[in-house]
Amino acid sequence: MLAGLKASKTILTCIMDCDLQDPPELLLEMIDRYKRSNGDLKMITAKRKNRSGDSKIRAIFSEGFYKINNLISPIKLESGVRDFRLIHRDALDSILDINEYHRFSKAIFEFVGFKKEVIEYDYIDRESGSSKWNFLKLFIYAIEGIVSFSTVPLKIITLIGFTIFALSSLYGIYMIIDTILFGNDVKGYPSIVTLISFFGGLQIILLGIIGEYIARIYEQSKNRPHYFIEYEK
């Protein structure tokens, strides 16, 4: 896909699957909508009306991915939207400005902004062959998508560390008071449990802090543009 986008020299560029699950006639409607917008639309996207044709398990996991992504990522993705789309040169140049190696295209298309419109269509069975996207590949792709545009997982680690640290500290205080008042038949048990919990939580906090710095290095290494200019006067 990236090779094709870079090779395109036209004002309008279309991305379409070759298995005919993307109805070619929809491209005519995309072009018509672009013309009727007087060039204001920079991206017109196709969206499946439902997940008919997918297995129930795949549909459940797919919907789960979109909900998780939209919960923790600043880039919101719409379920059912496909890569099948018409892209104006302004939006395409911005997409190509994002030169990172691991490219999660669905999020990149949303990240660049610009005025968009969605066309819904009914699911179409592929003409021949079978999809090479099995469950494992889709799962890995989903994980890559989440970590590509969100550092929230690292923040969750830090939060978990603080929670464990706080609970272990409270438990340690409880064990000390309980031992002083009532004693403990197992010598050393209170101190060992308290120290393990305390330092365990402290280690996770430190890992979370290190992770925050790594996240900033990670984001900087992507070298994404700070903004995109649609037009200049």
- Ranges of each domain in the chain: 2-149, 152-222
Out of 72-86, 92-106, 127-141, 188-202, pick the least confident: 127-141
104: amino acid identity, one letter: F
213: amino acid identity, one letter: Y
pTM, full prediction: 0.58
pLDDT at 217: 75
Q: Is the pLDDT of residue 26 over 80?
A: yes
Q: Is the pLDDT of residue 110 over 80?
A: yes
Instruction: Select the more confidently predicted residue: 40 or 226.
Output: 40
C-alpha 101/C-alpha 207 separation (Å) is 26
pLDDT band at 200 (very low <50, low <70, confident <90, very high): confident
DSSP-based three-state secondary structure for 43: strand
Short-list 63, 68, 54, 78, CA closest to 133:
54
Instruction: Select the more confidently predicted residue: 144 or 90.
Output: 90
Out of 91-95, 149-153, 163-167, pick the least confident: 149-153
pLDDT at 8: 86
pLDDT band at 185 (very low <50, low <70, confident <90, very high): low
Q: Is the pLDDT of residue 219 over 70?
A: no
pLDDT digits (tens, 9 = 90+) for 39-64: 788 888 888 877 666 667 777 777 77
Roughly how many angstroms between the first and final C-alpha of the chain, as a whole number?
32
pLDDT at 135: 64
C-alpha 139/C-alpha 65 separation (Å) is 9
Q: Is the pLDDT of residue 182 over 80?
A: no
